[in-house]
Amino acid sequence: MAEISRRHMLAGLAAAPVLLQAQPAPKLKLSIFSKHLQFLQGEELAAAIEEIGFEGVDLAVRKGGHIEPENVKTELPKLAAIFKKHNIEITMLTTDIVDADSPYAEDLLSTMQKLGIHHYRWAALHWTDAKPYAAQIEEFKPRVAKLAALNRKYQATAMYHTHSGIGLVGASIWDLHEILQGTDPRDCGINYDVGHATIEGGFGGWINSFNICGPHLRGIALKDFVWEKNAKGDWKAMWKPIGEGMVKFPQFLQMVAKAKFQGPLQMHFEYPLGGADAGKLKPTMPKAEILAWMSKDLKKIRGYMATAGL
């Protein structure tokens, strides 16, 4: 992915000056995916999220995340206390849980319950060429049922994140609809990523995939992109700041309002931010610029949300 030039970044900021914390809070809380602030820890992490203007955080509790899964029992309560001091709610966790047998799954869910956290992002399933898809769907169902039972025990909702790409279950979303049939949405649902959904179905497919989620829609991730040719002449989806890409946020957020959505609403920052976009521990862009770009996107989303009545 080509880096956004520093000149372009600074010009964008100058064209749309950002007043941190100046935007009115929407009815739905907006959370930041902590992956993009992986270079900050503890008090500094919480202070940065508060400075940008977010009310919540989607906290990475996974290998290489802000908390390693094996440390969740001791470290998550400590970090939750720090966030509370800064009026930041942990709205959800992003985890490595694939099914009920994943390492540390029960430690994570029991700690979530004690802290009043009820949503987490569940890791990806994959297709194989060795069997027909219909047969694989039937094999996924008992695994999902077992995970649903574990979630019910701890009053948690697993939200399957919808990425785009070849071989990924959930990319088209119709497959999740089939797999989740008969599963209580309070136990297992969908974390609908509108950026990835638009990559998979840019004309009308994203509308259909959103609508088919139905009651299993439990979380929403927000990001933007455009199709561009790389140096080899191949078309690639390139992430962009909110409002600079192909995602139809005004239309989408009106659909969200009509659906009476109440789950965690997360913002992702995948466009080049000196490595913060990829969760690097030592980004090359100054912290102030990273936070300013995040705040700019947040302001843009809040504007779209206000127009949609959210």
pLDDT at 26: 47
Query: Alpha-carbon Rg of the chain, whole angstroms?
Result: 19
pLDDT at 162: 97
Could you state, in chain order, the average pLDDT of each consecutive group of 10 residues for the chain (310 residues)?
A: 48 44 63 98 98 98 98 98 98 97 97 98 94 96 97 98 96 96 97 98 96 97 97 96 98 97 96 98 98 98 96
> What span, in angstroms and rounded, lies between the C-alpha atoms of 232 and 68?
38
Residue 97 CB-density burial (10 A; 0-12 exposed, 13-18 middle, 19+ buried)? buried
Q: 3-state secondary structure string, the chain?
A: CCCCCHHHHHHHHHHCCCCCCCCCCCCCCEEEEHHHHCCCCHHHHHHHHHHHCCCEEEEEECCCCCECHHHHHHHHHHHHHHHHHCCCEEEEEECCCCCCCCCCHHHHHHHHHHHCCCEEEECCCECCCCCCHHHHHHHHHHHHHHHHHHHHHCCCEEEEECCCCCCECCCCCHHHHHHCCCCCCCCEEEEEEHHHHHHHCCCCHHHHHHHHHHHHEEEEEECEEEEEECCCCCEEEEEECCCCCCCCHHHHHHHHHHCCCCCCEEECCCCCCCCHHHCCCCCCCCHHHHHHHHHHHHHHHHHHHHHHCC
pLDDT at 15: 43
Q: At 91, phi and psi to the nearest 5?
A: -80, -25
> CA dist 109 to 51, 143, 183, 274, 303, Å?
29, 17, 19, 34, 35
Among residues 37, 86, 29, the alpha carbon closest in space to that of 59 is found at 37
The residue assigned the tokens 């959210």 is 310
Domain range list for the chain: 38-308
Threshold 0.85, pTM exceeds: yes
pLDDT at 123: 85
Among residues 242, 264, 247, 256, the alpha carbon closest in space to that of 93 is found at 264
User: Could you confirm whether domain 38-308 is CATH 3.20.20.150?
Assistant: yes
pLDDT at 96: 97
